[in-house]
Amino acid sequence: MKQYLEKLMNRENLTLQEMKDVTATSFQSHITESQLASFLTALRTKGETPEEIAGLAAVIRSQSSQTTDNLVNVMDNCGTGGDGSHSFNISTTAAFVLAGAGVTVAKHGNRSISSRTGSADVLERLGVSLSFSKEHVEEILAENNIAFLFAPHVHPGMKRFMGVRKNLGIPTIFNLIGPLTNPVHLDTQLLGVYRRDMLPLLAETLHQLGRKRALVINGAAYMDEASLAGDNHITLLDNGNITSFTLHPHDVGLPVYPNEAIRGGNTAENTAILRDVLNGKPGAYYDTVLLNAGLGLFANGAVDSIQDGIAKAKESIDSGAAMEKLQRLVAYSNKISSEAI
């Protein structure tokens, strides 16, 4: 650990392999919390590189109890959080729309950390299990196109880092890597981030992690989701090529709403919003999910344009396919729960 700390303090970047080595070392019991805190602080002060982020994420993923690499064309649409927008659970709702449109989604998420209600809070209230085994995940993905991977359940080794992060009280590299540590192998990804300056860097990180195609998004007013409030800044990774562009809702035939129109609430309120959207209730929530699901379909390569993605997302909701994916996930959760009794 000492050699890596000295390198960071000299503002030298770590290679991908060095970051993998130091992360693997960090899981060992002889590394103290003060050493971990010093390492995270030095890394933050220097500024993280794609190699450092990818190295950390790769080792955390490999340490998961549910790492699997035998699934094909799976995506995630998880954001980093931390934008302070207090929006409803956009990516969670959009995940069912993506699944209803035929995309396989391994939804990785957690309870509320920076927002009032996390994906796990809402899904648990809906009746979705937070303790799917690796075999359960593979089965339900094959049967239903969507499964939920609860971060603390699939990353039990991360507990030792939580106290360090809490005591530091400052953003670290861990505020960026949640969506990068999905234990299911992902070919494509839609990644939202609250820092606009990180878009190209995270796109390169996704490339190093093996994504064939991805979109990294920073929404209007620096949301970690696409927003209908104005210009969204987007970086596309496509087979190693990285390009950037902006997207306004009017570009794809959607209305403009202020971000205040998509504020969420407590778990019960956000659960009701999710149900309303999947039932096709019009308004800002519905249109925001159309935009984000449309971008997800484009990120996955299921459509040739974002406009086509929005049309396909609308069809997924209006046909009842998206709601059916939720209902089947709940039914599967009830089934494994009854079998365990």
Q: Is 239 annotated as a binding residue?
A: no
Please answer whether residues 136 and 338 qualify as being in contact, where contact means their C-beta atoms are separated by less than 8 angstroms: no
Q: Is 47 annotated as a binding residue?
A: no
Q: Is 287 annotated as a binding residue?
A: no
Q: Is 251 annotated as a binding residue?
A: no
- Rounded Cα–Cα distance for residues 278 and 273 (Å): 9
Q: Is 65 annotated as a binding residue?
A: no
Q: Is 334 annotated as a binding residue?
A: no
Q: Is 165 annotated as a binding residue?
A: yes
Please answer whether residues 144 and 99 qualify as being in contact, where contact means their C-beta atoms are separated by less than 8 angstroms: yes
What distances in angstroms separate CA 210 from CA 69, 185, 190, 287, one per listed residue? 12, 9, 14, 31
**Strands (DSSP E) found in the chain:** 74-76, 104-109, 146-150, 188-192, 213-218, 232-238, 241-247
Q: Is 195 annotated as a binding residue?
A: no
Q: Is 111 annotated as a binding residue?
A: yes
Q: Is 115 annotated as a binding residue?
A: yes
- Rounded Cα–Cα distance for residues 241 and 175 (Å): 26
Q: Is 265 annotated as a binding residue?
A: no
Q: Is 301 annotated as a binding residue?
A: no
Q: Is 314 annotated as a binding residue?
A: no
- Which candidate, 144, 107, 98, places its Cα nearest to that of 316? 98
Q: Is 211 annotated as a binding residue?
A: no
Q: Is 108 annotated as a binding residue?
A: yes
Q: Is 309 annotated as a binding residue?
A: no
Strand partners, 51: none
Q: Is 81 annotated as a binding residue?
A: no
Q: Is 92 annotated as a binding residue?
A: yes
What distances in angstroms separate CA 190 from CA 91, 229, 262, one per listed residue? 9, 19, 20
Token readout for 35 is 């050493």
Binding site for Mg(2+): what residues are annotated? 91, 224-225
Binding site for anthranilate: what residues are annotated? 79, 110, 165
Binding site for 5-phospho-alpha-D-ribose 1-diphosphate: what residues are annotated? 79, 82-83, 87, 89-92, 107-115, 119
Binding site: what residues are annotated? 79, 82-83, 87, 89-92, 107-115, 119, 165, 224-225
